[in-house]
Structure 1
């Protein structure tokens, strides 16, 4: 991912949230998401994280349009970075879901994490997000029993952790 991709990545992330999390997080929160604000956040994070082992990947269609984005790096145990890897995000534009971009991004993240010597790749997914959970389970990820509350506008939305040995 290049710095110039931040606007498109922000659009994919925001539209992905609005599509995937409808009915799971407060609609007012989803309606309030801003592509412009997220793009600015992506630019700041892209510049700051480039040195910290964080990798941002994009998937393009044959015409060169960015259709998906993934981000991985060291697993975060609170404020401490561990030797394991974490998939921080994986989103595909809602119009492109089911066309292989998400799987391609996941495979590339797995490959890069294994090449970096990481033993496991961990990720967090909303407990109610059955579609995402099936996607990860088809790729060999399994819930490891860890759960955390994720609060959105005062509503607790539980997340479960999944992991896969590399």
Structure 2
């Protein structure tokens, strides 16, 4: 593997990564979900609050969620989180990709693909037979991305409630 400073590196998230991950998550929501989620909700998102939530989750004992970051030249440019699939509060034998975000401006450069590839490979190595994920029904860009990488909508839809507005989500699955 090339050790050049421009090489993309995928690694486990650490506490100092919480702030850049929060920046990516908030900017990702505000960019990708504009017109899909109430604008007042997007406008109210705060990086400092999100970073604190990331720190709390990362330090939670027994937390089965794995957080990965994509780093290039010392800059965090992507984040993914995966773990056991949740059916309500019940964990199943399947894995779930909870989040995959790439810093706006870095979209289309292979960062999301590298995070997805690493996450699914780790899920397979852990013995999971499938990876499931939820995506906003109207988020065509994300849906195309997951479909290009072997995920298919499995027919399950649920609303995601934001400020009293039900936003439909579609579940995608991929066998490992």
Deviation at 1:52, TM superposition (A): 3.2
Equivalent in the alignment of 1:22: 34
Equivalent in the alignment of 1:44: 56
Q: Which runs of 4+ in 1 moved over 4 A?
A: none
Equivalent in the alignment of 1:132: 142
Equivalent in the alignment of 1:75: 85
Ranges in structure 1 where 5+ consecutive residues have no aligned partner = none
**Deviation per residue, 1:58-109 (Å, 9 max, x gap):** 0011x12000000000000100111100000000010211111100000000
Which of 58, 61, 64 pairs up with 1:53? Answer: 64
Cα distance in 1, alignment partners of residues 173 and 55 from structure 2 = 29
Equivalent in the alignment of 1:11: 23
Q: Pairwise mapping of residues 112-151 of structure 1 onto structure 2 (< 5 A)?
A: 112-151=122-161
Cα distance in 2, alignment partners of residues 150 and 92 from structure 1 = 21
Cα distance in 2, alignment partners of residues 164 and 53 from structure 1 = 20
- What is the CA RMSD across the aligned residues, in angstroms? 0.8
Equivalent in the alignment of 1:111: 121
Deviation at 1:51, TM superposition (A): 2.7
Which of 76, 98, 101 pairs up with 2:108? Answer: 98
Aligned residues: 164
**Deviation per residue, 1:11-34 (Å, 9 max, x gap):** 000000000000001111101000
Q: Which has the higher helix share?
A: 1
